[in-house]
Chains A and B, each alone.
Chain A
Amino acid sequence: MSTELAIETTGLVKVFGDNRAVDGIDLAVPTGTVYGVLGPNGAGKTTVVRMLATLLRPDGGTARVFGKDVVKEADAVRSRVSLTGQYASVDEDLTGVENLVLLARLLGHSKPAARDRAAQLLEGFGLSEAAAKQVKNYSGGMRRRIDIAASILNTPDVLFLDEPTTGLDPRSRNQVWDIVRAVVAHGTTVLLTTQYLDEADQLASRIAVIDHGKVIAEGTKGELKASVGAGTVHLRLRDGGQRAEAQQVLALALNAEVQLDADPVALTARVDGQSTEQGAAEQAGRALAELARCGITVDNFSLGQPSLDEVFLALTDKKGVAA
């Protein structure tokens, strides 16, 4: 552990009534990275973020941001973090520019400096024309942008983004991603919660998968994917009638379970790649040759790393079996 940790939690617990929303979470987030906290609704993601941002007191365990305890040294933590919550953390009754000036003043900027900074950010975030409108009239994507703009009035050392793209259209989502990349390139550590695997895949370097208040897997994207298998083969046949035969041939050639997709001409198989001498691609190539020898026409073939979707399903399945 030579690099400084931006965020470190040990055995973090939060209980609401008889619901253990966060049940012993350990996180170690290296400085200057995007750390993804991935999980379904109600997994405890938001509760973790709220504790780290000093909004909730943990019921057990400790949480530190740059070595400062979030309870005992809350003020020191507050001066280094910013939060963009799941619901717009700006005042909907005020205009965009009023919101930014208000928050800039609260961060200690003088009146002229606050106005300058607000104008800069509004322009940089493509919100100049909407500056004088009340935020309640903004679209979802614009709200997110003003919200993130408010979070970087003073560039924070840690930025918490709680489901920043939930409910956004693809275009707005890409804009938010661009903003997050720019913030990280500047050196800010970002803790991102999301229920979209795609988003964690796009942005995060390390990911913790949480479910029912516990971390069920943690690691780099590569590690997580490798833990599920080397890759997945997707096939589309010309003739759906040959699918049952193709399934048998593939199962033999790949020594793996072959699933029939909802699409009547498609099949999916997971390639192990670790238990045999051959690499995943080699195995897949042999399987293709085998199919051709049996007279099964394959229209479309792909071999890919497992998606985080597959990782997530595999992980939660395992847990279900264990329980």
Chain B
Amino acid sequence: MSTATAKTELEGVALAAPDKERLSALLVGQERPPRPSALSASMTFGWRAMLKIKHVPEQLFDVTAFPIMLVLMYTYLFGGALAGSTEEYIQFLLPGIMVMSVVMITMYTGIAVNTDIAKGVFDRFRTLPIWRPAPMVGYLLGDVLRYLLASAVMLAIGMIIGFRPDGGVLGVLAGVALLVLFSFAFSWIWTMFGLLLRSEKSVMGVSMMVIFPLTFLSNVFVDPKTMPGWLQAFVNNSPVTHLATAVRELMAGNWPASDIAWTLGWAGVLVVVFGAVTMRLYNRK
């Protein structure tokens, strides 16, 4: 409806013809500025991601309503059975469910890349003399905002239903910072799939195949001690487990050096491997 009204509004405007003399004035005596730095170009693409959110705010549904749903669902579903009460369980669950939700949300990056890349505007980006990874980094910078928003929403709902982190403000912020950093690195998997796969649906399908085992087969919901040996081997070495432990401990006021180191190590590997594959695909596309 809004589109239809906008179109009629614009019809009169379309008749305004460009003026020849003014046109040539636009072309004369322009000096070319130096090319932007890698950071500046990436930030500009990040700004593009913000503008998209501004024009289609509904897309924030997945970082607001979805995380609230997950927190409430799992707390009341498992709380009594696993920890005796929901208040007990939320202390254990909330950092983990934050990790799970945010890592899940990262997969929307792949879908965004996939739908965007087919549009003509990407041809223009690719003919600009800029740092090549900037458009991809820009997506991820925009997504960092979404991760922060999801984390804030989940913390808020957690606090309302009884989450009391011993680590205080600093511990919580450190946990969120680690989570967002890891998610930024993890998203490069999705930029790769976004460029590799042909349709939005296949990106969605592959993302689910990766994200569900990775997030569920971890220590987000329960302590892995009761799992069979082979599963423990997987769970204990999963990057999501290291991340969940690190975030949980940071929020509890501890300093889980080894889990932080593992998480940062995984993040580094993810960026190097999938960043490189993404850029190769991007240049070949």
A: residues with CB less than 8 A from B are: 50, 53-55, 57, 75, 78-79, 81-83, 85-94, 98, 102-103, 105-110, 113, 120-121, 123-127, 129-130, 133-134, 136-139, 141-142, 145, 150, 152, 154-155, 171-172, 175, 178-179, 182-183, 185-186, 188
Q: Is the CB of B27 within 8 A of A98?
A: no
Q: Is the CB of B26 within 8 A of A90?
A: no
How far apart sit A189 and B22, CA to CA, in the bound complex (Å)?
A: 20
Give 9 new A-B contacts, CB below 8 A, not counting A126-B16, A139-B7.
A57-B284, A78-B129, A88-B120, A107-B128, A108-B32, A108-B34, A124-B26, A126-B13, A130-B13
How far apart sit A57 and B128, CA to CA, in the bound complex (Å)?
A: 16
Interface string of B39-62 (1 = CB under 8 A from A): 011001101100110011000000
A130: chain B residues at CB < 8 Å are 10, 13
Q: Is the CB of B22 within 8 A of A123?
A: yes
Q: How far is the CB of B107 from chain A (nearest CB, A)?
A: 21
Q: Is the CB of B127 within 8 A of A124?
A: no
Q: Is the CB of B19 within 8 A of A89?
A: no
B24: chain A residues at CB < 8 Å are 182, 185-186
Closest chain A residue to B4, Cβ basis: A137
Task: Say yes or no for B84: interface residue by CB 8 A criterion.
Answer: no
Q: How far is the CB of B79 from chain A (nearest CB, A)?
A: 42
Q: Is the CB of A139 within 8 A of B17?
A: no
Q: Is the CB of A105 within 8 A of B44?
A: yes
A87: chain B residues at CB < 8 Å are 119-120
Q: Is the CB of B3 within 8 A of A137?
A: yes
B7: chain A residues at CB < 8 Å are 137, 139
- Nearest 4 pairs of A and B residues by beta carbon: A108-B33, A126-B16, A87-B120, A79-B129
Q: Is the CB of A129 within 8 A of B13?
A: yes
Q: How far is the CB of B72 from chain A (nearest CB, A)?
A: 33
How far apart sit A225 and B40, CA to CA, in the bound complex (Å)?
A: 51
Q: How far is the CB of B208 from chain A (nearest CB, A)?
A: 26
How far apart sit A89 and B45, CA to CA, in the bound complex (Å)?
A: 16
A152: chain B residues at CB < 8 Å are 26-27
How far apart sit A55 and B36, CA to CA, in the bound complex (Å)?
A: 21
Task: Say yes or no for B30: interface residue by CB 8 A criterion.
Answer: yes
